[in-house]
Amino acid sequence: MARTQVGIVGAGPSGLLLAHLLHERGIESVVLENRTEEYVIARVRAGVLEQGVVDVFRAAGLSGRLEAEGLVHHGIELRFQGKGHRIAMSELTDGRTITIYGQNRVVEDLVAARRSAGGPLLYEVSDVSLHDLAGARPTIRYVHEGREETLECDFVAGCDGFHGVSRASIPAGVLTEYERVYPFGWLGILAQVAPSTEELVYAYHERGFALHSLRSAEVSRLYIQVPAGEEVEAWPDDQIWSELHTRLARDDGWTLREGPVLEKGIAALRSFVTEPMCFGRLFLAGDAAHIVPPTGAKGLNLAVADVTVLARALEDFYATGSDAGLDAYSDTCLRRVWQGERFSWQMTSMLHRFPEEGPFGARLQLAQLEQVVSSRAAATALSESYVGLPIL
C-alpha cells in the first residue's frame, strides 16, 4: 500500500493547481487522472481569468507564459439593437482587469510545474473508488498499468468534475443539490482568424445570444445560442458564420472576420451547486461541487478559488494541527460560489432569449441592458463581479 498526505482525484486545473500549491508548502500529494494527458490538455474550455486568479498564479511562480502571452482586457462590450456599449471595467474597479488565456495553456503550465517538482502524476487510471472517507486514513483504490493499487491518504481532494467518482462516493442523504437546467446550449467554434474585436463582445439579439471571444492574436472563439438538444451536425460552418454575422451586426460598419473552423461543439447550460462541499476527509473542488453557465466566465475562476482556500487550510492543519480552516472550507467557498452563480445567472438571463418569456420578457431584457449601459452604479456592479471577488 502506498501512502501520501493528500490524494487528488482529477488532473484538470483545480487538481494540478492544488498539487502545486501543496508542494510549495511542503505537503505531499499524488494526482490521479482517468484520461490521457493529451486529452486533458486538448480540452477547449474557459479562457477568461479574473484579476485574483492571475495574482494566485503570479504568487505561485506560474505566471511566466501567462503574462507573456495572455491578453489583458480592461473592458467588455455589450451589443444590442445594432449598437455597441463598452463597459470600462478597470475604470470602475480601481484598475482590476481580466486576462484571456486558454484553459489548455493553464493545464500545460501546471503539468510542466508538476513534472519539474517531480510529484506523482498518473494518467489513464481506471476503476477509481474512495473508501473510509469518514475515518482518519481514507484510501483510494485504482488500477494503473494493469495493476491494482491502494493509496492511503490523510485527505482526499475530489477535483474530478461533475461526472467524477468523488461526489458520487458521498453517502446518500449527506448532500443537498441545487440545479437549474437552461432550455438552450452554446454552439462554439474555434476559428483560425484574427479576432474582429479587441475585447469580448456579448450580443443580445432577437435570434438569440452570441459571443465573440479571443484565444490569441491569431485565433478567435465564438459562440451562438442554440436550442437544447441541438446536434452539431445540423450546423455546417457556413450557417454558423451567417448566424454570427446576423447576431453580432453593428450599424456603424463593423465587420466580422471569417476563417477556417478548427473545432466546433455544443455544450448544454446548467447551474449546479452541492452543499456541503466536503464529507469527512473528502473535499470537493471545482466542477465536482458546482457548475455555472459560461456566460459569466466563472467556472475556472471558482475552481482556482476553491483549491487556494483548501491549500491554505491544509497548510494550517499540518503546521498547527488546527482543523479550523478545514471545518470552514465549505462555508468559505460556498459564499463565493453562490455569488458566482448569481452573476452567471444574471448574465445568462439578461442576454439569452427564453422562448417561454415571449415579447414581455424580451422588453424586460432590453430594459435591463439599457440600465447597465446608462447607469454607472449598474455598470460598476457588473464590473466588480466580472473582474472577480478577492480569493481570500
- Indicate whether 253 and 342 sit together in one domain: no
**Any idea what the CATH number is for the domain that residue 41 is in?**
3.50.50.60
Domain that holds residue 383: 180-269+352-387
Are 57 and 128 contained in the same domain? Answer: yes
Does residue 46 carry a pLDDT above 80? no
Distances (CA, A) of 331 to 58, 257, 306, 309: 26, 46, 11, 11
Over residues 271-326, the pLDDT tens digits come to 999 999 999 999 999 999 999 999 999 999 999 999 999 999 999 999 999 999 99
Average pLDDT of the chain, as a whole number = 96
Domain co-membership, 10 together with 30:
yes
How far is 220 from 254, CA to CA, in rounded Å? 16
Which residues belong to the active site?
73, 202, 294, 298, 386
Are 262 and 287 within one domain? no
| Claim to verify: residue 215 and residue 123 sit in the same structural domain | no
Same domain, 136 and 254: no
46 & 138 share domain = yes
Binned at pLDDT 50, 70 and 90, residue 390 comes out as confident
Residue 392 lies in a domain: no
Q: In terms of domains, do 326 and 187 share one?
A: no
Number of domains in the chain: 2
pLDDT band at 44 (very low <50, low <70, confident <90, very high): low
Is the distance from CB of 221 to CB of 214 less than 8 angstroms? Answer: yes
Q: Are residues 221 and 316 in the same domain?
A: no
Q: Give me the percent of the chain exceeding a pLDDT of 90.
A: 94
Task: State pLDDT tens for residues 8-26.
Answer: 999 999 999 999 999 999 9
| pLDDT confidence of residue 318 | 98
Q: Are residues 243 and 113 in the same domain?
A: no
- Whether residues 255 and 152 fall in one domain: no
